């Protein structure tokens, strides 16, 4: 599946929930399912700048595809980075670079987050796009 198809699948899943409390619980559950990042990948270089919580992003190239793994010390933030891993991991770097991350706003998530967490979404997206650029450079 490409980015748009993955995003639509996520939107369809979120539509199943009646309110934002249930949606938050779902996002938190995505974070809980995210495998713990290996300690050697929890370095200062892997920290996403601009996040109130500590969020580590590890990227690896497999051919032209960017593989993502991540972790956080906050359950909601771990859920947020899990969304990015789900939407982007394994996609070609070119597709990640071209992906319109503002499409995540269709989830309604940004308007239901504290401003610092909403800004963290931008930081996560930017760092992933930077990793994609490095992969093809």
Q: What is the pLDDT of residues 34-61, one digit of tens each?
A: 999 999 999 999 999 887 789 999 999 9
3-class secondary structure, 37: coil
pLDDT mean across residues, the chain: 92
Per-residue pLDDT, averaged over 67-90, amounts to 95
Per-residue pLDDT, averaged over 124-129, amounts to 94
**pLDDT at residue 120, as a whole number:** 86
3-class secondary structure, 41: helix
Into which CATH architecture does domain 3-37+47-136 fall?
Alpha-Beta Complex (3.90)
Helix (H) / strand (E) containing 86 = helix 75-88
pTM for this entry:
0.92
Catalytic residues: 51
Q: Model confidence at 111, in pLDDT bands (50, 70, 90)?
A: confident
**pLDDT at residue 4, as a whole number:** 94
For the chain, the C-alpha Rg in angstroms (whole number) is 14
CB-based contact 56:42 (threshold 8 Å):
yes
Q: Using CB atoms within 10 A of its CB, is residue 113 exposed (0-12), middle (13-18) or buried (19+)?
A: middle
């Amino acid at each position: 599946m490409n980015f748009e198809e993955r995003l639509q699948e996520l939107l369809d899943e979120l539509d199943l929930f009646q309110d934002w409390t249930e949606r938050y619980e779902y996002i938190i559950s995505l974070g809980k399912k995210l495998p713990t990042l290996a300690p050697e990948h929890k370095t200062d270089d892997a920290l996403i700048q601009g996040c109130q919580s500590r969020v580590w992003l590890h990227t690896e190239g497999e051919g032209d595809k960017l593989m993502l793994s991540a972790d956080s010390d906050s359950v909601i933030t771990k859920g947020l980075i899990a969304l990015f891993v789900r939407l982007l991991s394994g996609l070609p770097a070119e597709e990640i670079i071209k992906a319109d991350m503002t499409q995540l706003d269709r989830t309604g998530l940004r308007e239901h987050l504290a401003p610092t967490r909403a800004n963290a979404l931008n930081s996560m997206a930017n760092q992933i796009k930077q990793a994609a650029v490095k992969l093809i450079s």
